[in-house]
C-alpha cells in the first residue's frame, strides 16, 4: 500500500500541530464555537449526543496491520475500547474527549493516518472497490488514482469551503462496487476502442433527503485528466451551488436545476481553460504511486487446494462460511476473506480493540499485513491462500468474526443512529438487532439468499437506505420514533432508488413487516430470482398488500405525509 | 491608520472600503481619498471614479469576476468580500481573477477574514488581507506559514508537488535510500 514519503509525513504532522493550536485557542476563548466548528469538522470531530465523535480517515478503505493496531490502542487509550466502521470505509470513535483529539491526531500521524476532511463542506475521503487489485473483473487498479486524488483533494485551497460536502468514488472494475452512481462525482473505468483507459464521469448522485442517481456528463475521460476535470466540476459547483439552504446545497441540486446537459457544457467550457495544464497526471507520477500498490509476493499455488476442498466436504459450517464469506481472487490458489462485523447482538460495523488487534495479527500471518474496510461495514483479508482458509475460519470464529452471512439478510448496513448521532430521528442499531434475531436461523437466511437491508436513522442516509433492497429510514412522528420502509433500491451498475411501500411503522413492528415482505418473495420467486428481482418484476403492490392488508390506502397515505412533514 | 497584511508584512493602509449598508445607494456622496467601491457603484459611476484618480473595486461573494475582467487594468486594488469566513465562493473568484483574467495587482481579502483561512486565501492568489479588526493581525500573519508543503498546484504555486520535486519511488526507498 501507499507509504508516506517526507512530504506526506510533513503535511500530516503540520496538520496535527495546526489543529492542536486551534483547539487550544478554542478552549482559551479565542475561537468562537462557530469559528471552531468547520475547523474541527475538517478534522473529523463532531460534537454528538453523548460525547464528541471522531471520524478517522481510512483512505479508500485500505489499512496496514500496524495501522489497525494503532487504531486499537487509540480506542483503548482515548475511548471505550471499540470503534465503528462506517459506510464510507472510515472508522469512528464514539467517546473521545475534545481536548485529547489533537493527541489522537499526533498518534495517527505516526502511522501515516489522519482525520483530514472526513467531515465538513469539503472534498471527503475518496472511496473505492474493496476488492481493488484482486478482483477478477478489474480493468485498472483504482488505488493509485485514489491516492493521487487523495493528495490533490487534501487542503485543496479553492475547495475547502464548498457549499456542502463533496464525495468522490472511483471504480476500476466492470462491476461497480463503489456506488459510483450515488456520489457527487463517480468515476467508472472504461476502455475505449483504441484500448486506452479512462473514466465515465458521473455527477450529482447522492442519497440524503433528495436521493438522485448521478448523471453521466462525460462518456470517456482519459485517466490523465481526472484531476483537472474534477477541478472544473468543483469550480462550477463552488461558484453556482446554492448556499442559502443547506438542504439544497449539494451538487445534485445544481445539476438538476440547470439540467445535466447544460451543467456538462459549463464544465467542459471551464475545463477547456485548464486542460493539459500542470495538474495533468504524468506517467512518472502515476508510476511512482502505482509502485506502492504492486502485488504482494504471491506463492505459486495450484488453482484448487486439495486440503481446502476436503475441509469443505468434512465440515458443513466451514463450507457455509466459505460459500458466503470467501471470494474468488485473480491469483490462482488465493481468496479474499470477509470478516463479518455483523454478529447478532452487536451494532453492525462495531469492532472491539481486541478484535482489531486480532484482525491485525491475522492479516500479518495470512494476508501480507494488509486489510480493507468495505462500505458494507465488514473487513476483508484480501490475499489468503486457500490452504490457510480453514485455519483462518477457526480463528475468526473464536473471535466472533466469522458470522457466515455476507450478502445475506443479516449482513445489515446500519448507521449509528439515535444511540449516538445527534441528527438522528430514530435509533437504528436496535432495529438491526431485532431483524437479526428474527432471521437468526442460518438455513432460513441461506434460503432467502442475497438481499441487502440498509438502515439509516435519518434523512442524511449514512446507512444508504435508498439503495437497500429493503431500506429502513427512521422518521420522527410526533416525537416518536417510526420507521419508513422502502423496497427495490440497489447499488451497482443498475443502481436504483427504493420506493416507499406506505405509512411508517413503530419499532416493534419492523421485524414483522420485513418477514411479510420476505414471505411474498418466497411465495412468488422463480428459480434463481433474488428478492430484488421479484420486486422489479412484480412492483410494489403484492408486497404492500401483504404488509397493509386490503385496507384502502388513501387515508393511510395521508397519514404518512403528516409523519414526514 | 488601519493595518493590513500585504506581501507577507503588516503595513498601514489608507484605502477606504465603501459599503452600501444602511440604506445607502450607489449614488451616495463619496468621501475624499482612496476608495474601494462596490462593483455596482463601479458599473454605474465608472467615468467619475476613473477621473478621481486611484480607485479600487470590491466584489461581493456573488459578484461575477467576468464583470470586471475588461477593467482590471484600471484598478489599484481589487478586493473580494467574505460575508462569513465559511462562505467559500470568493476562493474561486480570486483564482479566476488571477489565472483567467490575468490580474496582477493587489488582490485583497476583506470581510470575515480570520487566521485559520489565511493559508488557503494566499494560495488562491490573495496577497493582501484585511483581517477582522477584533483579531490579532500578527497572529494572522503567522498563519501564512501553517504549512510548508502543499500537494496540489494553485495560483501561488502553479506546479503540483509531483511536478516540482522529485518524489522518491517506493522501490528506491525500500532499498534503503
Ligand atoms: S443517517 Fe442520520 S442518524 Fe444515521 S448516522 Fe447519518 S446523520 Fe446520524
CATH no. for residue A45? Answer: 3.90.480.20
Q: How far apart are CA A207 and CA A461, in angstroms?
A: 6
Domain identity same for B127 and B160? no
Other beta carbons within 10 angstroms of residue A360's beta carbon come to 22
Question: In the predicted model, is pLDDT for residue A283 greater than 60?
Answer: yes
Q: Do A514 and A418 belong to one domain?
A: yes
Does residue B98 sit in the same domain as residue B136?
yes
Same-domain pairing of A272 and A233: yes
Give the model confidence (pLDDT) of A129-164 as tens digits.
999 999 999 999 999 999 999 999 999 999 999 999
Q: Whose CA is nearest to atom 6 of ligand 1?
A: A462
User: C-alpha distances in angstroms, A511 versus A440, A517, A547?
Assistant: 12, 10, 11
| Residue B175 predicted with pLDDT over 50 | no
d(CA B148, CA B144): 10
Asked which of A355, A375, A398 is the last residue of a domain, the reply is A398
CA-based nearest residue to A374, from A343, A328, A337: A337
Average pLDDT over residues A435-456: 94
| Min Cα separation B175/chain A (Å) | 13
**B136 to chain A: closest CA residue:** A30
Segment A74-103 mean pLDDT: 93
Q: Which residue has the higher pLDDT, A189 or B174?
A: A189
For residues A483 and A476, the answer to whether their CB atoms sit within 8 Å is no
Spatial distance between the Cα atoms of A373 and A63, rounded to a whole number of angstroms: 8
Judging contacts by C-beta atoms under 8 Å, the chain A residues touching residue B161 are 7, 151
A-chain residues near B150 (CB < 8 A): 11, 155, 157
Helix (H), strand (E), coil (C) string for A134-198: CCCCECCCHHHHHHHHHHHHCCCHHHCCCCCCECEEEECECCCCCCHHHCCEEEEEEECCCCCEE
- In the structure, what pLDDT confidence band is assigned to residue A209 with cuts at 50, 70 and 90? confident
What's the rounded Cα separation, in Å, for the pair B2 and B12?
A: 6
Residue of A7, A38, A158 lying closest to B167 (CB–CB): A7
Shortest CA gap A22–chain B (Å): 8
Q: Tell me if A344 is assigned to some domain.
A: yes
DSSP strand E in A165-308: where? 168-171, 185-191, 197-203, 215-222
Q: Which residues pair with A475 in a beta bridge?
A: A482
> Which residue from A minimizes the CA distance to B157?
A278
**Residue A290 to residues A2, A130, A133, A381, Cα–Cα distance (Å):** 8, 17, 11, 21
Distance CA A509, CA A358 (A): 37
A463 CA: nearest ligand 1 atom: 1
Pairing of strands A127-128, A168-171: parallel
CA B136 to CA B128: how far, in whole Å? 15
- For range B103-129, the mean pLDDT: 98
Angle at B140 between CA B134 and CA B146, to 5 degrees: 150
Give the gap in angstroms from C-alpha A71 to the nearest C-alpha of chain B. 25
Q: Which of A119, A161, A234 best probes binding to B when mutated, by most B CB atoms within 10 angstroms? A: A161
- Cα–Cα dist B34/B17, whole Å: 9
Q: What domain range includes position B169?
A: 149-177
Ligand 1, closest atom to CA A421? 8
pLDDT of residue A343: 86
Helix (H) or strand (E) holding A482: strand A480-487
Same domain, A165 and A268: yes
Total number of domains in chain A = 4
Q: Is residue A404 part of a domain?
A: no
Contacts of B132 (CB under 8 A, 6+ apart): B111, B112, B113, B114
Task: Specify whether B175 is located in the same domain as B135.
Answer: no
Say if CB A416 and CB A84 are below 8 A apart: yes
CA distance A50 to chain B (A): 27
Chain B residues lying within 8 Å of A160, measured CB to CB: 88, 91, 117, 120
- Minimal C-alpha gap between B107 and chain A (Å): 15
Q: Tell me the nearest-neighbour CA distance from A231 into chain B, angstroms.
A: 11
Predicted local confidence at residue A422, as pLDDT: 85
At A421, the pLDDT band (50, 70, 90 cuts) reads confident
Ligand 1: centre distance to CA A456 (Å):
6
What is the distance between the alpha carbons of residues A469 and A448, in angstroms, rounded to a whole number? Answer: 13
A448: pLDDT strictly greater than 90:
yes
Contact status, residue A59 vs residue A147, Cβ threshold 8 Å: yes
User: Best of A456, A466, A484 to mutate for ligand 1, by most ligand atoms within 8 A of CB?
Assistant: A456
Q: How far apart are CA A84 and CA A93, in angstroms?
A: 6
**What confidence tens digit (pLDDT) does each residue in A25-64 have?**
999 999 999 999 999 999 999 986 667 899 999 999 999 9
pLDDT at A50: 67
Based on the fold, state whether residues B13 and B73 are members of the same structural domain: yes
Q: How far apart are CA A490 and CA A511, in angstroms?
A: 21
Check whether residue A154 and residue A191 sit in a common domain. yes
Residues facing residue B79 across a β-bridge: B58, B108
CATH number, residue A170: 3.30.413.10
Assess whether A140 and A286 both reside in one domain: yes
Q: Please tell me whether residues A418 and A394 are part of one structural domain.
A: no
Nearest CA in chain A to B95: A158
A127 in any annotated domain: no
Q: Give the total number of structural domains in chain B.
A: 2
pLDDT at A49: 65
Ligand 1 atom index nearest CA of A424? 3
Q: E strands of A313-442, at which residues?
A: 326-328, 334-339, 350-352, 370-373, 379-385, 413-414
For the segment A285-308, the average pLDDT, to the nearest whole number, is: 96
Interface with B, mutate which of A24, A143, A158, A254 (most B CBs under 10 A): A158
CB-CB contact of B76 with B54 (8 Å): yes
Residues B120 and B65 in one domain: yes
**The predicted structure's pLDDT at residue B170:** 57
pLDDT of A81 higher than 90: yes
Burial of A222 (0-12, 13-18, 19+ CB in 10 A): middle
Residues A259 and A266 sit within 8 Å (Cβ to Cβ): no
Which pTM value belongs to this model? Answer: 0.91
Residue A252 CB-density burial (10 A; 0-12 exposed, 13-18 middle, 19+ buried): buried
What pLDDT is recorded for position B168?
A: 76
ipTM confidence:
0.96
Residue B171: pLDDT band with limits 50, 70, 90: low
For A108, the grid coordinates are 495517527
Q: Are A143 and A60 in contact (CB under 8 A)?
A: yes
Q: What is the pLDDT of residue B76?
A: 97
What are the pLDDT digits (tens) for A159-208?
Answer: 999 999 999 999 999 999 999 999 999 999 999 999 999 999 999 999 88
Query: Nearest residue of A to residue B166 by CA position?
Result: A285
Q: Which of A350, A415, A416, A425 to mutate to test the pocket of ligand 1 (most atoms within 8 A of CB)?
A: A415
Could you tell me the residue range of the domain that residue A490 belongs to?
413-564
A560: pLDDT strictly greater than 60: no
Rounded distance from Cα B107 to ligand 1 centre (Å) = 41
CATH code at position B44: 3.20.20.70
Same domain, A188 and A249: yes
Please list, in sequence order, all residues whose beta carbon lies within 8 angstroms of the beta carbon of residue A379, skipping any fewer than 6 positions away: A85, A338, A339, A341, A351, A359, A371, A372, A373, A401
**What span, in angstroms and rounded, lies between the C-alpha atoms of A477 and A561?**
10
| pLDDT at residue number A556 | 46
Q: Which residues of B touch A238 (CB under 8 A)?
A: 88-89, 91-92
What is the tens place of the pLDDT at every residue in A318-371? 999 999 999 999 999 999 999 999 888 788 899 999 999 999 999 999 999 999
| Rounded distance between C-alpha atoms, residue A145 and residue A151, angstroms | 10
- Enumerate the residues of chain A whose CB falls inside 8 A of the CB of residue B92: 158, 235, 238-239
User: Which residue, A502, A492, A425, is CA-closest to A209?
Assistant: A425
Residue A255 to residues A249, A251, A264, A462, A466: CA-CA distances in angstroms? Answer: 11, 6, 9, 22, 20
Q: How far apart are CA A423 and CA A532, in angstroms?
A: 30
Does a structural domain hold residue A140? yes
Indicate whether A378 and A488 sit together in one domain.
no
**Cβ pair A433, A462 in contact under 8 A:** no
A479-497 b/e (C-beta count within 10 Å ≥ 16 → b): eebbbbbbbbbbbeeebbb
Q: Which of A205-219, A248-262, A412-426 has the highest mean pLDDT?
A: A248-262
d(CA A130, CA A139): 15
A265: confidence class by pLDDT, cuts 50, 70, 90: very high
Pocket test for ligand 1, best of A246, A457, A467, A476 (most atoms within 8 A of CB): A457
The one-character DSSP state at A123 is B
**Binning pLDDT at 50, 70 and 90, where does residue A552 land?**
very low
Contact residues of ligand 1, CB 6 A cut-off: A 415-417, 421, 423-424, 456-458, 460-463
One domain, residues B91 and B57: yes
Q: What is the number of the ligand 1 atom nearest to the C-alpha of A426? A: 3
Phi, psi torsion values for A511, nearest 5 degrees: -60, -40
With an 8 Å Cβ cutoff, is A14 touching chain B?
yes
Question: How many contacts (CB atoms, under 8 Å) link A and B?
Answer: 115
Nearest chain B residue to A7, by CA: B149
Instruction: Tell me, yes or no, if A235 comes closer than 8 A to chain B by beta carbon.
Output: yes
Give the CA distances from residue B115 to residues A170, A342, B60, B110, B121, in Å, rounded to whole numbers and listed in that order: 34, 45, 20, 12, 10
Please answer yes or no on whether A243 and B87 come within 8 Å at the CB atom. Answer: yes
Average pLDDT, chain A: 93
Residue A89 CA to ligand 1 centre (angstroms):
15
pLDDT of residue A95: 87
For residue B120, count other CB atoms closer than 10 A to its CB. 22
Indicate if B118 and B75 belong to the same structural domain.
yes
What number of helices (H) and strands (E) belong to chain A? 19, 21
- Predicted pLDDT of residue B169: 65
Q: Within this chain, do residues A377 and A417 fall inside the same structural domain, yes or no?
A: no
Q: Quickly list DSSP for B41-76.
A: HHHHSHHHHHHTSSEEEEE-TT--GGGGGGGGGG-S
Amino acid at each position: 500500500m501507499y507509504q508516506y514519503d517526507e512530504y506526506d509525513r510533513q503535511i500530516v504532522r503540520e496538520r496535527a500541530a495546526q489543529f492542536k493550536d486551534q483547539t487550544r485557542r478554542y478552549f482559551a476563548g479565542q475561537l468562537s464555537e462557530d469559528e471552531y466548528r468547520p475547523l474541527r469538522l475538517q478534522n473529523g470531530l463532531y460534537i454528538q449526543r453523548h460525547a464528541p465523535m471522531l471520524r478517522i480517515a481510512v483512505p479508500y478503505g485500505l489499512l496496514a496491520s500496524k495501522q489497525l493496531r494503532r487504531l486499537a490502542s487509540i480506542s483503548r487509550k482515548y475511548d471505550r475500547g471499540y470503534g465503528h466502521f462506517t459506510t464510507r470505509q472510515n472508522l469512528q470513535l464514539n467517546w473521545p474527549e475534545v481536548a485529547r483529539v489533537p493527541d489522537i491526531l499526533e498518534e495517527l500521524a505516526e502511522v501515516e493516518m489522519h482525520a483530514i476532511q472526513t467531515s465538513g463542506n469539503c472534498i471527503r475521503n475518496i472511496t473505492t472497490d474493496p476488492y481493488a487489485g484482486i478482483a477478477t473483473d478489474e480493468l485498472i487498479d483504482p488505488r493509485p488514482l485514489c491516492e493521487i486524488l487523495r493528495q490533490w483533494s487534501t487542503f485543496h485551497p479553492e475547495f475547502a469551503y464548498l457549499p456542502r460536502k463533496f464525495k468522490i468514488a472511483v471504480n476500476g472494475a466492470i462491476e461497480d462496487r463503489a456506488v459510483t452512481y450515488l456520489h457527487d462525482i463517480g468515476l467508472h473505468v472504461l476502455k475505449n476502442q483504441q484500448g486506452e483507459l479512462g473514466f465515465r464521469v458521473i455527477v450529482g448522485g447522492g442519497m440524503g433527503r433528495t436521493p438522485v442517481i448521478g448523471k453521466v456528463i462525460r462518456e470517456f475521460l482519459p485517466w490523465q485528466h481526472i484531476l483537472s476535470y474534477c477541478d472544473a466540476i468543483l469550480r462550477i459547483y463552488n461558484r453556482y451551488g446554492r448556499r442559502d439552504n443547506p438542504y439544497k446545497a449539494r451538487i445534485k441540486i445544481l445539476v438538476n436545476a440547470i439540467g445535466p446537459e447544460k451543467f456538462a457544457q459549463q464544465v467542459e467550457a471551464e475545463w477547456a481553460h485548464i486542460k493539459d495544464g500542470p495538474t495533468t497526471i504524468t506517467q512518472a507520477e502515476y508510476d511512482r504511486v502505482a509502485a506502492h500498490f504492486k502485488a504482494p509476493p504471491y506463492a505459486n499455488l495450484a488453482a484448487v487446494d486439495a486440503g481446502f476442498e476436503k475441509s469443505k466436504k468434512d465440515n458443513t459450517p466451514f463450507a457455509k462460511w466459505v460459500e458466503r464469506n470467501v471470494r474468488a481472487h485473480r491469483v490462482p490458489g488465493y481468496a479474499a476473506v470477509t470478516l463479518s462485523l455483523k454478529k447478532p447482538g452487536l451494532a453492525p460495523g462495531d469492532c472491539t480493540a481486541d478484535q482489531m488487534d486480532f484482525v491485525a495479527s491475522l492479516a500479518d500471518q495470512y494476508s501480507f499485513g494488509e486489510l480493507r474496510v468495505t462500505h458494507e461495514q465488514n473487513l476483508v483479508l484480501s490475499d489468503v491462500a486457500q490452504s490457510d482458509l480453514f485455519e483462518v475460519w477457526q480463528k475468526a470464529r473464536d473471535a466472533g468474526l466469522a458470522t457466515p452471512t455476507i450478502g445475506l439478510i443479516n449482513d445489515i448496513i446500519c448507521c449509528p443512529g439515535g444511540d449516538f448521532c445527534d441528527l438522528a430521528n430514530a435509533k437504528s442499531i436496535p432495529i438491526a438487532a431485532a431483524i437479526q434475531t428474527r432471521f437468526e436461523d442460518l438455513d432460513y437466511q441461506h434460503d432467502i439468499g442475497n438481499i441487502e437491508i440498509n438502515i439509516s436513522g435519518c434523512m442524511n442516509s449514512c446507512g444508504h437506505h435508498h439503495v437497500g433492497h429493503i431500506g429502513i429510514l427512521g422518521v420522527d412522528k410526533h416525537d416518536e420514533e417510526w420507521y419508513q420502509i422502502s423496497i427495490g433500491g440497489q447499488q451497482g451498475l443498475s443502481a436504483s432508488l427504493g420506493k416507499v411501500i406506505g405509512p411508517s411503522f413503530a419499532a416493534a413492528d419492523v421485524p414483522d413487516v420485513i418477514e411479510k415482505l420476505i414471505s411474498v418473495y418466497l411465495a412468488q420467486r422463480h428459480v434463481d430470482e433474488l428478492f430484488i428481482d421479484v420486486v422489479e418484476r412484480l412492483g410494489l403492490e403484492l408486497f404492500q398488500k401483504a404488509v397493509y392488508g386490503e385496507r384502502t390506502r388513501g387515508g393511510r397515505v395521508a397519514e404518512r405525509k403528516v409523519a414526514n412533514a | 491608520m488601519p493595518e493590513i497584511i500585504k506581501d507577507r508584512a503588516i503595513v498601514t493602509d489608507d484605502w477606504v472600503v465603501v459599503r452600501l449598508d444602511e440604506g445607502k445607494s450607489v449614488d451616495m456622496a463619496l468621501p475624499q481619498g482612496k476608495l474601494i467601491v462596490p462593483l455596482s457603484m463601479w458599473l454605474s459611476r465608472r467615468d467619475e471614479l476613473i477621473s478621481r484618480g486611484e480607485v479600487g473595486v470590491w466584489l461581493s461573494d456573488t459578484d461575477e469576476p467576468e464583470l470586471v475582467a475588461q477593467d482590471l487594468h484600471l484598478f489599484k486594488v481589487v478586493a473580494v468580500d467574505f460575508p462569513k469566513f465559511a462562505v467559500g465562493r470568493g476562493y474561486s473568484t480570486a483564482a479566476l481573477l488571477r489565472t483567467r483574467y490575468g490580474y496582477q495587482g493587489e488582490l485583497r481579502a476583506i470581510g470575515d477574514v480570520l487566521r485559520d483561512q489565511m493559508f488557503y486565501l494566499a494560495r488562491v492568489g490573495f496577497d493582501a488581507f484585511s483581517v477582522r479588526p477584533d483579531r490579532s493581525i500578527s497572529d494572522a500573519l503567522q498563519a501564512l506559514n501553517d504549512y510548508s508543503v502543499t500537494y496540489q498546484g494553485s495560483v501561488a504555486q502553479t506546479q503540483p508537488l509531483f511536478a516540482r520535486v522529485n518524489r522518491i519511488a517506493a522501490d528506491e526507498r525500500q532499498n534503503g535510500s
